[in-house]
Amino acid sequence: MFAAATVYAAAMSTKKQREKEQRYRRHGVERPRSPQIDQKQARGDEEPATKRGKRGSSRSSAAARPRKPVPYPTLFRALSRAPIFGILWFVLFRFILSKQAQDVSVDIYQALILTGVMIPLLFVTDTVTYRLSKRRGVPLGERPSDGWIGFPGR
C-alpha cells in the first residue's frame, strides 16, 4: 500500500512535500495518484522491452552490445593524430584569424608550434582516458610489445 508512496518521497526535496508525505503515512491514507501515472504504467506493461526511447536506442540493447576496447596510449597514436590538428590550426590562422597582408610562412610557423604542443597533450589525454576506463571496467586494448612508444613494424 505504501510502497509507491515511499518511491515518491525519495524524489521529493522540499520540506513541505516531505511533511505532506509523512501526514499521508501517519494517518494511513493512500496517496492520491494522477491518471497520467496510471496510464504510463499501463503502457509500460503492454510495450515490449525492445521499444526504442526518445533518443533512438533502448538501454537494454546498448548494454548487450560489446563495447569497443579503449586503445593503449602510445606516442605513435599522438604523432599520427597531431598533423590533423596542425592542418586545422593552419586553416584557422590563414583564413579566419590572420590579416590578409600577412605572409603564409608566419601562419605555417604558428601551426607547427601548436602542432608540437598538441603531441604531449594528445598523449596525456589518451593516458587519462585509458586510466578512467580501467577504473570503470571498460574493455582495454592490449599494451604494445615496445611499451608507450608503440611504433608498428618491430
First to last CA, the chain: 69
Q: Which residue has the cell 515490449?
A: 48
- SS3 readout for the chain: CCHHHHHHHHHCCCHHHHHHHHHHHHCCCCCCCCHHHHHHHHHHHHCCCCCCCCCCCCHHHHHHCCCCCECCCCHHHHHHHHHHHHHHHHHHHHHHHCCCCCCHHHHHHHHHHHHHHHHHHHHHHHHHHHHHHHHHCCCECCCCCCCCCCCCCC
Which is more confident, 34 or 56?
34
**Per-residue pLDDT reduced to its tens digit, 97-143:** 877 777 888 888 989 999 999 999 999 999 999 999 988 888 898 88
C-alpha span between 31 and 5 (Å, rounded):
6
pLDDT on residue 118: 93
**Per-residue pLDDT reduced to its tens digit, 49-94:** 555 555 555 555 555 677 889 999 999 999 999 999 999 999 888 8
CB 74 within 8 A of CB 142: no
